[in-house]
Structure 1
Amino acid sequence: MMADEGLKLLRQIVAAGGRKYTAGNIDRRRYDQLVDLGWLTPFKTNVSDIEYQVTEKGRAAADIAAQ
């Protein structure tokens, strides 16, 4: 994922309240890349669903990108 795409996704999640719920068997690579950067934290809600929450580091990155 390009850095700009990652920041765009991050800013969308922040604007939606800082959480993104993913359900089912979907490709989560773009979210996992943000987890690797320390910008999101994943929480398994059940076997096939994950909720991602923006970290403080992620909020700071989104704020810097918005400027």
Structure 2
Amino acid sequence: MRLIRLKEVIDSTGLARSTIYKFISEGEFPKPVSLGERCVAWVEGEVHEWILSRIEERDNQKQGVSGI
């Protein structure tokens, strides 16, 4: 299991910092793990799964559109 810092989450998802925290507050993105008083990181696998779910959501929408 690997923990990644915010910069890598931003690089992996293409999201802005504010968007990541907005999605977290809405329950739409994995929560970070506290590493100390002012340090957090994310579980890399959870971020990867979130990305894959977005891809799956996109692919499901394409199938719905093509079935019209």
TM-score for the superposition, normalised by structure 2: 0.39
Between Structure 1 and Structure 2, the one with more helix by share is 2
Between Structure 1 and Structure 2, the one with more strand by share is 1
Larger Rg: 2
